[in-house]
Each structure stands twice: as structure tokens, then as C-alpha cells.
Amino acid sequence: MGSLSDSMPAMKKRLASVSQSADEVDRPTQHPLKLMQNQEEASQKLVAQINQIIANHPASIKMLREIAKVVGTAFEVDCCCLVTLPDEKDSEAVTATANWCAQKYSGVTQSDEFSAIDELDWPVMQCAAEPFSIEDITAIEHSLVVGCQYLPLPIKTVLGLPTYLGQKNNGVVILIRAQPYDWSESEQKLLKALESVCAIAFAQLTQAHKIDSQQKTLAASSQYQNLLKQLTILSRSNLDLNQMLQLAIASTAETLQADRGLLMLLKYTDPLFKARQKKQVPKAKVNVVGEWSVNAAKDTSHQPNEESFWLSDCALCQRVFTASIKPIILNEDLGQQESYSLSAAAIFNLEKLPTVLLMPLESQGKILGFLVLQQSQSRNWQHRELNILEMICAQLVNTIIQSQTLRQVQNLVDERTAQLQRSLEVQSKLYEIKQQHVKQLQELNDFKDEFLSNMSDRLRYPLTNMRMAIRNLNHPEITPERQVRYLDILEQECTKEINLINDLLTLQRLDNQQEPLQYETVDLNTTIKDSVASCEPKMAEKGLKISLDLPTEPLKLQTEVESFERIVQELLTNASKYSQRDTGVNIKISHQVNHLVDQVMIEVHNTGRTISEEEATYIFDRFRRGKGRWTPGTGLGLALVKSLVQHLNGEIAVKSTPIAEDANLSKICFTLTLPQFADDKKP
């Protein structure tokens, strides 16, 4: 879906459309809404029709479809879409959609050529409200994605109405046309007149869904809450695993009124086998760890069956691995003859208990065992019963894994205790290293937060200005003068964004590529003067005076001209940003030979806030800025300077000398040192 940031061509197309529409105002139109002389009469008639639908229909999707049909027919659009937006605080709330399409689209099927939502330019989307707000556009954008993505028509023009009830957005009415179209003011006002009645319809449907969901949830909760509570208490007890599983299957089978319940655990010969992925039957033994039956519950002397069998001997259990069926249900009287004909281990006793429900105990694709419920008579399991069984299986899996994990942990603890006692000294050293790492991670985290905050602000600020300019350009009554002004703002902010991205790309290029230097001879005096002249107006706004300390004789330098000029420009820009008002900036150029190395030194002096020793260590790092520096910026300027200086085989350093009269101010000096090559020594 097109974003606002890349919709400049669409905006120009929209302006042309608006201009063309203005030329066609005097042309006759056949739209029934425009033919009505009394706008109030039209709105009253449409509101009355919707009220009648609400009164004569129960709160359902069908009611919304009838409203969508009435609204779409009245506006003669290609499609009308109604989307409810329930309260976000309600975790069980669902979004309901109702669509109506014109007759010519009734036989069209969804295909690739109708994926127009992904190509919709937002300037052609309007809201039936003045002025437009971010909330209005966001509500329509969300509703388009939710309710219109499968519509069998291309979407070219959208008029949307967010409805509010009790100051909360509870739905959106969307009018869609398959061709470019300029919505008239009367159409927007008429759609706006439907806000309250549509909001009532949305509210009734949302409330009906909520009441129905609450009733179903309450019924299921009242039936099974005691069982879940018992299993929860059981899982937290100190009983042995087999005892917990025996009590769990007894409570489950009795509560669900089964004639018999079994719990079986698998013991794999290959512990790493994952059945759901391989779709094959593993070599494993099935152990019955829990059994309950109606007759055994009456006979207190009955002992649980401890029978076991190989998985390869039971086709019923194998179905879980080969077909990934969850659950497996055998029920002869319900016509499942194929499943009923499966062979099963003798423990199932299918002759007396032919109706079987088998649920796998699964954890991360691996089958740990089975929960089995059996009946002597046929039984049609309800959906809520299967849901509660899935919850019980999940709880049993957690209990099994926790028990096994605790046993393994205990063994490991016993095994490692002696080793830990002998390694206290090593642990102490590791702790110190860990603390250092934690401190480093905290510093990196602070740097990350600073970077994200800084970059998001600098990237978002131009985009925000461009967005507001685009919105104002979309205003139908904009004057030519304001149109030119907003286009200038768009161009300026786009240039800022491009410059920021170019700086990032330059840093990336300097880091990843070792390009050969393109040496040229430059006159330092002339180059410095030209750079100062370009920055002088901005410095004058701050009351800064620039002074130059240049050699009397022309000083030539062999360097890469573009990189050198960018370094000087960034240093002057930095001095302009952070200098105290009504102070001075001095540039000094000198030539020296240090350890037989011919060098040129350029010093930029200014008066500004003191740079601490800590700040000096990272002042040239990218995206890092000094503490307390609230001047807008990205922290890329000095980082780019350092990368370019290194590219020219030079050095850059900073020095801050406090001023006695003011402890918060210092004399700041950036010193740039570059090698100087004679013509016959140029590499």
C-alpha cells in the first residue's frame, strides 16, 4: 500500500484531477444526490432507511450488509464496506465486516489484477470530516486492509467515515470507486450525516457479539472450572509423577463421564526422534501409567493396569504419527468404519469399549504419550469438550516436562556440587568479567537508545513536514501562492532527507571500500576563503565573527579536493552550531616538518561549551553527541570528518581549554593534520 512519503507523483496526479474536476463543475451530472434540491431531505431519507433496518433486523452481519447495500446504492458507488472496530481492551473482541458490491462485480473472481489495495495512492483517499486528522486516516487505512483486501474490484478512490460513539471510534463506513473520482462536498456532508446512525448499528453488533461470547465462556467455565482447578493444584503438589498422572486421568474421565480413561507415556529408542516432522512411526514402547474406569472406581481393591506394548503393534496409535490427526476418534455408530477397522493393542479392549477418543500429548513436535477416553456406547464429542481436553493435555505435558526436568536438574546439581566447590575462585573471576560485560552492555544499550532517538527524530522531522505539506496541498481551496509555498517546503525537506542518507552512504562507502586517492594541487588560502564565504551568512545570524590566520606566501597542498573541502565545511558547520553567541571563530593554517614528515596543519578555534575528557574520547564516533548538547543534529558530522581525514592519510584531534571567567565555557580547537607531497614525490 503506497505510503505518504513516496506519493509525490500521486499528489501531482491528484492536483491535476482536482483542477480537471473544477473545470467540469458546470457540466450536468446524473448522480441522484446532486439532483436533489434539498440536501437535508436526502439525509433524512437515508437515515430513516437505516433506522428501519436496525429496528427490523437483529444485530448481525446480515443487518450490516443491508445497511451497506442501502448506502452503496444511494451513493451509486462500486462498493460499500462497513467495518466494526471493537474496543482494543477487549481481548476476545473480533472485527466484523460487511461488503456490498455493484451488480457488475457480482460474477468477478479475485485475481492478481485486482490487487489494487497494494497500489492505492493515499492522496485519493478522503475522510468525510473537516479537518482531516491522523486518527481518521489511520482508522480508514486499517479498515481497508481488514475489510476490503478480498473485494473483486480495483480500488482507485475511497471516501471514508470513521464513526464515533462515546468519543471512541467503533467503526468505519467506506465508499469505493473503481475509477478516479472527485467526491463532491454534498456527498461528503451526506455521508457525515450518517455517522450517528451507523455508529449505533456498529455498537449493537459489537454488543451482541460480546454478550454471545460471554454466555458461551460462562457455560464452559462453569462446567469445567473445578476440573482445571483440581489439575492445577495437583501439578503443584509433591506427589510422584505416576501418582499425579493416575489422579489426573481419574478426575478427567469421571468429569467428562467416560466409561474408562487411560494415560500412556512413550519411551523412545531414539530420544531425538520428532514424529510430526518425519511423518513416520518410531521405534518406541508404550507404557500405561494411569487407568480409571467406572467399575474400578466402585471396586476399591482394583489396581491400575501396568501393561505395556510396542508402538509398532498398535495401528491406532500409529495414526497419530503418520496422519497427524488430533484427536483420533473411533465411533462405529457415527459411520467411521475406516478408523474403526484399525487394529489396536489389547489394552484398549475394543470389543467392550468400541468408542475411543485418543489425544496425543505433544511438546514441540514430539509425542510424549496419549490420553485415551473410551465409551461402551457411541458418543458425539462436543467442540467445547475437545477444547477442554486440549487444555488438559497441555497441562499434563507441562507436568511431565517439569517433573522430568526437575529430576534431571537434581541429578546435575548433585553431580556438579563438588566441582562448584573447587571452582569458587574461577567463578569469582568470571563474576568480575561478567560485571564488566554487563557495564559494557549497559553502555551499548544507552548508546543504542540515544542513536534510535536521535536518528528517528532526524528522519521523522522532514517526513512530518512533507506529510503536512501534502495534506495542505490536498485541501480543495488552496491558493496558488500557498501551493507554491508548500511545494517549496516539500523540496527543502526532501533535500534534507537526501543529504542525511548521502552522509550515511558516504560513511558506509569509506568503511567498506579502499578507493585510491585522486590527488590534485589546491591553493589552501583560496580554498579556505571560499569555504568561509559560504558559511559566513549563517555565522552572522549568530553574531559570530570569522578571522583568518593564513600564510603570507601561497601554500599548495596535494590532496583529494572533494574530500578536503567537505572536511573544512563540516568543521566550520560544527563551529557555527556550538559556538557561544557573539564570539569569534578563528582559522589558522601553518606548515611544518615533523620527524622528516612534511605536514600542513589547519586549526579551527571557537568558544563554546566545555568538552569533557570522556566526551573527547567519542566525539568523533558516529551517532554520538556530547551530553547536554541540545542543538539539533545526527552526530554524523564529526564522524564523517574523521573518516575523510583517515581517507586522506591525515589526523584530527580536539582540545578544550576552560576559560577562567566562565567554568562552563572553553576555548575549543580542532586540529587537522595532512601530509604534504611535492609534485615529484606524489604517490
Which stretch, 161-170, 459-468, 504-513, 550-559, has highest mean pLDDT? Answer: 161-170
Q: Higher-confidence residue: 398 or 632?
A: 398
Tell me what pLDDT residue 261 has.
Answer: 92
Q: Higher-confidence residue: 66 or 514?
A: 66
At 220-252, the pLDDT tens digits run 566 567 777 777 777 777 777 888 888 888 888
In the predicted model, is pLDDT for residue 585 greater than 80? yes
- CA 203/CA 64 separation, integer angstroms: 11
Q: At what angle do helices 637-647 and 480-512 cross, to 10 degrees?
A: 40
Contact 511, 644 (CB under 8 A): no
Average pLDDT over residues 125-137: 80
Tell me what pLDDT residue 511 has.
Answer: 67
CA proximity to 603, closest of 620, 590, 616 = 590
Which stretch, 185-199, 604-618, 619-633, has highest mean pLDDT? Answer: 185-199
- And the C-alpha cell for 166? 462515546
Q: 317-326, 501-510, 667-676: which has the minimum mean pLDDT?
A: 501-510
Tell me what pLDDT residue 374 has.
Answer: 92
Fold (topology level) of 237-400: Beta-Lactamase (3.30.450)
Tell me what pLDDT residue 650 has.
Answer: 86
DSSP single-letter state for residue 579: B
Could you count the other beta carbons within 10 Å of the beta carbon of residue 454? 18
**Is the CATH code 3.90.550.50 the one for domain 438-512?**
no
Tell me what pLDDT residue 680 has.
Answer: 42
CA atoms within 13 A on the CB side of 638: 23
The CA–CA distances, whole Å, from 400 to 243, 256, 327 equal 12, 22, 20
Q: Which residue type, as a one-letter code, is found at position 644?
A: L
The CA–CA distances, whole Å, from 575 to 11, 302, 532, 604 equal 40, 92, 12, 8
Q: Higher-confidence residue: 317 or 279?
A: 317
Tell me what pLDDT residue 41 has.
Answer: 82
Tell me what pLDDT residue 455 has.
Answer: 65
In the predicted model, is pLDDT for residue 301 greater than 60? no
- CA 454/CA 464 separation, integer angstroms: 15
In the predicted model, is pLDDT for residue 121 greater than 70? no
Q: Which residues contact 308 (CB under 8 A, 6 or more apart)?
A: 285, 286, 287, 288
Categorize the per-residue pLDDT at 557 as very low, low, confident or very high, splitting at 50, 70 and 90.
confident
Contact 388, 227 (CB under 8 A): yes
Q: Which residue type, as a one-letter code, is found at position 165?
A: L
**Is the CATH code 3.30.450.40 the one for domain 4-210?**
yes
- CA 458/CA 504 separation, integer angstroms: 13
669: helix, coil or strand? strand
Mean pLDDT over each residue of the chain, to the nearest integer: 77
- Classify the C-alpha dihedral 389-393-394-395 as positive or negative: positive
Architecture of domain 520-681: 2-Layer Sandwich (3.30)
- And the C-alpha cell for 148? 476490503
- CA 133/CA 106 separation, integer angstroms: 34
Q: What are phi and psi of 183, to 5 degrees?
A: -70, 130
Tell me what pLDDT residue 72 has.
Answer: 92
pLDDT above 70 as % of the chain: 78
| Residue bearing cell 489389547 | 346
Average pLDDT over residues 396-418: 82
582: left (phi over 0), alpha (psi -120 to 50) or beta: left
- CA 174/CA 99 separation, integer angstroms: 9
At 636-672, the pLDDT tens digits run 778 778 888 888 888 888 888 888 777 778 888 988 8
In the predicted model, is pLDDT for residue 2 greater than 50? no
- Beta strand ranges found along 301-411 (DSSP E): 308-310, 328-330, 355-363, 366-375
- CA 267/CA 412 separation, integer angstroms: 22
Q: Higher-confidence residue: 418 or 77?
A: 77
In the predicted model, is pLDDT for residue 9 greater than 60? no
Tell me what pLDDT residue 682 has.
Answer: 43
Q: Higher-confidence residue: 451 or 214?
A: 214
Tell me what pLDDT residue 114 has.
Answer: 46
- CA 159/CA 181 separation, integer angstroms: 10
Tell me what pLDDT residue 36 has.
Answer: 46
Which stretch, 13-17, 296-300, 329-333, 418-422, has highest mean pLDDT? Answer: 418-422
At 327-365, the pLDDT tens digits run 888 875 444 434 445 678 888 888 889 889 998 888 887
The kind and range of the H/E element at 163 are strand 157-165
Q: Which residues contact 187 (CB under 8 A, 6 or more apart)?
A: 33, 75, 159
Q: Which residues contact 305 (CB under 8 A, 6 or more apart)?
A: 288, 291, 347
Contact 534, 575 (CB under 8 A): no
CA proximity to 173, closest of 159, 189, 153 = 159
Categorize the per-residue pLDDT at 275 as very low, low, confident or very high, splitting at 50, 70 and 90.
low
In the predicted model, is pLDDT for residue 420 greater than 80? no
Q: What are phi and psi of 603, to 5 degrees?
A: -115, 130
Contact 332, 378 (CB under 8 A): yes
What letters, b where the CB count within 10 A reaches 16 and e where it falls short, cover 299-326? eeeeebeeeebebeebebbbbbbeeeee
Tell me what pLDDT residue 681 has.
Answer: 42
- Beta strand ranges found along 153-241 (DSSP E): 157-165, 168-177
Instruction: Write down the pTM of the prediction.
Output: 0.36
Tell me what pLDDT residue 221 has.
Answer: 62
Task: Give start-end residues of each CATH 3.30.565.10 domain in the chain.
Answer: 520-681
- And the C-alpha cell for 274? 520428532
pLDDT above 90 as % of the chain: 8
Average pLDDT over residues 49-70: 90
Q: Which residue type, as a one-letter code, is found at position 263?
A: L
Tell me what pLDDT residue 452 has.
Answer: 66
Task: Give start-end residues of each CATH 1.10.287.130 domain in the chain.
Answer: 438-512
Could you count the other beta carbons within 10 Å of the beta carbon of residue 516? 7
Task: Give start-end residues of each CATH 3.30.450.40 domain in the chain.
Answer: 4-210, 237-400
Q: How far is CA 606 from the centre of its chain?
A: 45
At 425-455, the pLDDT tens digits run 777 888 888 888 888 888 777 766 666 666 6
Categorize the per-residue pLDDT at 460 as very low, low, confident or very high, splitting at 50, 70 and 90.
confident
Q: Which residue type, as a one-letter code, is found at position 327?
A: P
In the predicted model, is pLDDT for residue 273 greater than 80? no
Q: What are phi and psi of 656, to 5 degrees?
A: -120, 120
Which stretch, 371-375, 478-482, 505-509, has highest mean pLDDT? Answer: 371-375
What letters, b where the CB count within 10 A reaches 16 and e where it falls short, cover 117-144? beebbbbbbbbbbeeeeeebbebbbebb
